[in-house]
Amino acid sequence: MSDFVDEAQLNVRAGDGGAGCVSFRREGPVVNGGPNGGDGGNGGDVWLVADHNVASLLAFRDHPHRRASNGVHGKGKDLHGRRGESLEITVPEGTVVTDMYSGETLAELYSHGDRWMAVAGGRGGRGNARFLSNRRRAPTFAEQGEHGEERWLRLEIRLMADVALVGFPNAGKSTLISVISAAKPKIADYPFTTLSPNLGVVSIDEGTEFVVADIPGLIEGASEGRGLGHRFLRHIERARVLCLMLDLASVEGVSPAEQEETLLAELGAYRPELLERPRLVVGTKADAVQPDELERLGWNGPVVSAVTGSGVRELVGRMASLVHEARSEFPEREGVVVLRPEATGAAVERIDDGEFRLVGRDVERVVALNDVTTPEALAYIDERLERLGVNRMLTRAGVSDGDVIWIGDFSFEYRSDLGGSR
Ligand SMILES: Nc1nc2c(ncn2[C@@H]2O[C@H](COP(=O)(O)OP(=O)(O)OP(=O)(O)O)[C@@H](O)[C@H]2O)c(=O)[nH]1
Ligand SMILES: [Mg+2]
């Protein structure tokens, strides 16, 4: 498990759309025939897919850039370009995807098969055959393909456990999980033995199962980044129930009450809601302390010994009933959350005195023609912008005659009497 990588950065780029083609029929008896330029194919999309065969995000460390293929350009004779192949990137179950820059949560891929489209391929450009109309008998322009989207993502695995074992290093968390489940983590008599979380399934009887996570030890200051616990605090976030494990045989002599206080303070500092989570508290290594010592330690809560097995059944029973309650309260997992505001339409941005920029997928597409110098192309642009309501938007934005309007690399002078474009 030394290569357990639980966060990664990923750059995804969808394929570009192929360009539409400008072409006219010429063969045989047809001279000066109609337009027959085919459309470009759409670019491939990039998808993230949860897969239970993938255990870590290690693969992204060396290969953070992934891209889908481009669409093929259209050709004459109404030949449309093939669409670019989409790319599916497999990620472990429990991967949470956020925007690297805004930190916004984009998707949560919980279980095998959950899919999320990270970036959409650019649309293929339309060939000139598509621009044929009564007024435009010989369109000499076609659309360029749209660029595929590109973005930086942050991936993070958040384990989904029913119960998280939370305690100081060396408190006996790994030993307990090895006793109550089939998990076989490393156990040793020194702190920070566990460097990455372990999951184990506890089966009580047929049909009653729950998942326990053994989280690396927390120390004071973990919520500010001390020790190793800090990176793992977020795994605790997902657990329905917390089980605080207090070391009764602590060599450093930190009393159970002090351990509990520190653990709760760290959890609360990291995320106050964690303190609302249903929780159990148990003293560990009961076999190593005499009853009179317990009194001296001031501990009168439940105790457990993973070595002799005393108290284990009771603890597992209490875990099961809290898990049961928590599950019936929130029976549904949230499923795949997809928040992807569609960047379509149009907006006006003021860039300077007398200079404005129109942005948005739709307006930008209007001017993405292979040739914007022909009268037909200009007439087409005019017509489309009008239909998108651009004139009204410009008026509302306070644009006046003579101002320069930019769309992509294309610019024109605003003239209200001419409906805006020129
Ligand atoms: N006597 C006794 N020793 C125990 C018991 N449980 C664990 N130990 C010992 O305590 C030491 C630490 O146990 P681990 O299970 O590795 O502790 P941990 O909480 O996982 O520690 P980290 O991974 O470092 O956070 C080991 O030497 C265990 O053998 C117990 O019930 N009784
Ligand atoms: Mg451990």
pTM: 0.60
Mutate to test the pocket of ligand 1, among 168, 170, 184, 266 (most ligand atoms within 8 A of CB): 170
Task: List where CATH 3.40.50.300 sits in the chain.
Answer: 163-329
Task: List where CATH 3.30.300.350 sits in the chain.
Answer: 347-418
For 100-146, the pLDDT digits (tens) are: 999 888 988 877 788 899 999 999 999 999 999 888 888 999 999 99
Ligand 1 near 191 CB (within 6 A): yes
Ligand 1 near 198 CB (within 6 A): no
Quote the pLDDT of residue 417.
63
Q: Which of 83-87, 382-386, 417-421 has the least mean pLDDT?
A: 417-421
* Burial of residue 399 (number of CB atoms within 10 Å: 0-12, 13-18, 19+): buried
- Of ligand 1's listed atoms, the one at least distance from the Cα of 214 is 20
The domain defined by 1-158+333-341 folds into: Spo0b-associated Gtp-binding Protein; Chain: A, (2.70.210)
Distance CA(92)–CA(85), nearest Å, equals 23
Quote the pLDDT of residue 337.
46
Q: Report whether pLDDT(336) > 60.
A: no
Mutate to test the pocket of ligand 1, among 174, 212, 250 (most ligand atoms within 8 A of CB): 174
The residue-averaged pLDDT of 384-397 equals 87
The domain defined by 347-418 folds into: GMP Synthetase; Chain A, domain 3 (3.30.300)
For 50-97, the pLDDT digits (tens) are: 887 777 788 898 899 999 999 999 999 999 999 999 999 999 888 999
* Ligand 2 center from residue 50 Cα (angstroms): 27
Ligand 1 near 311 CB (within 6 A): no
Cα–Cα distances in Å, from 249 out to 170, 255, 283, 289, 297? 10, 9, 9, 7, 10
Ligand 1 near 301 CB (within 6 A): no
- Judged by its nearest atom, the ligand closest to the C-alpha of residue 185 is 2
Q: Report whether pLDDT(419) > 50.
A: no
Expressed in angstroms, the distance from the first to the final Cα of the chain is 64
Ligand 1 near 315 CB (within 6 A): no
Look at domain 163-329 and name its CATH class.
alpha beta
- Judged by its nearest atom, the ligand closest to the C-alpha of residue 251 is 1
Q: How confident is the model at residue 1 (pLDDT cuts 50, 70, 90)?
A: very low
Q: Report whether pLDDT(16) > 90.
A: yes
Ligand 1 near 216 CB (within 6 A): yes
* Ligand 1 center from residue 2 Cα (angstroms): 20
For 190-232, the pLDDT digits (tens) are: 887 887 778 888 888 776 788 899 988 887 777 777 766 566 7
Q: Which of 221-225, 257-261, 305-309 has the least mean pLDDT?
A: 221-225
Task: List where CATH 2.70.210.12 sits in the chain.
Answer: 1-158+333-341
